[in-house]
Amino acid sequence: MILIKNDMEIEYMRQAGKVVGDTLAKLQEVIKPGITTADLDKIAEEFIAKRGAKPSFKGYHGFPASICTSVNSEVVHGIPSKDRVLQEGDIISIDCGAILNGYHGDAARTFAVGNISKEAEQLINVTREGFFKGIEKAIVGNRLTDISHSIQMYVEGFGYSIVRDYVGHGIGRDMHEAPEVPNFGRPGRGPKLTKGMVLAIEPMVNIGAYQVFVEDNEWTVGTSDNSLSAHYENTVAILENGPEILTLGQ
């Protein structure tokens, strides 16, 4: 069942979303060669706590950290580690969730570590733009997969592939609510979009094939062909006057 949020709930979610967006902005400032993914996790955890919120991911199905850090060919769910030292030219996808007032915010970005290749830069940009192509369709009266199709058409136009095994989701009091929000598929299907739906829309894009696998640690998802992958996610409220992104931050 899709839980529709009223104005007060959406205001709570704005506040949770702001913590997430601000945390990601903070991390972007400190990402540089030599920092470890465990350092980033600690910075995020402290930042979220200072804002009176809690990390959504810590302990979620046993996940051991506050953020997911996925480097280069890692797609999602990378576990921060003191042994993972970021190198010039890496790209890192950071997924962050926070709960405040009983509501979650969820967002992800892929960041450059120092100077990166033109190829990596384009992947990051296309993944982000794919999200924005998607939310152009996040309009009351459209169907859910209008969003999905719009993302896929844009991203595949660059020869990239969309990850199939992981999708976006509804979000609210639970981090993962109905409906699932695929980043691919035919338009005009799924539930009708209505005012008060809140969706985490999150294209995961590979330079190579769309297939992925789960590493031996049972969390980290990597591309099957070792190609680079990028992720861009925001929590989006569907409102009368169009979509509102709740996790942009400053």
Distance CA 56, CA 58 (A): 6
When the beta carbons of 84 and 169 are compared against Mg ion, the nearer one is: 169
Smallest gap from Cβ 95 to Mg ion, in A, equals 4
Smallest gap from Cβ 118 to Mg ion, in A, equals 27
Strand 91-100 relative to strand 161-162: parallel, antiparallel, unpaired? Answer: unpaired
CA angle 57, 36, 224 (to 5 degrees): 70
Q: What does DSSP assign to residue 34?
A: T
**Phi, psi (degrees; rounded to nearest 5) at 213:** -140, 160
**Phi, psi (degrees; rounded to nearest 5) at 172:** 180, -120
Smallest gap from Cβ 31 to Mg ion, in A, equals 18
Distance CA 164, CA 129 (A): 18
When the beta carbons of 14 and 104 are compared against Mg ion, the nearer one is: 104
SS3 content of the chain, % helix, strand, coil (to 5): 30, 30, 45
- Beta-bridge partner residues of 237: 198, 244
When the beta carbons of 106 and 244 are compared against Mg ion, the nearer one is: 106
Nearest residue to 39 (alpha-carbon basis) of 78, 86, 4: 86
Smallest gap from Cβ 66 to Mg ion, in A, equals 12
When the beta carbons of 51 and 225 are compared against Mg ion, the nearer one is: 51
Residues lying near Mg ion in the complex (CB under 5 A): 95, 106, 108, 200, 233
Smallest gap from Cβ 70 to Mg ion, in A, equals 11
Distance CA 138, CA 132 (A): 10
When the beta carbons of 41 and 233 are compared against Mg ion, the nearer one is: 233
When the beta carbons of 85 and 132 are compared against Mg ion, the nearer one is: 132
Whether the link from the prior residue into 179 is cis, omega within 30° of 0, is yes
Smallest gap from Cβ 130 to Mg ion, in A, equals 15
Distance CA 74, CA 88 (A): 17
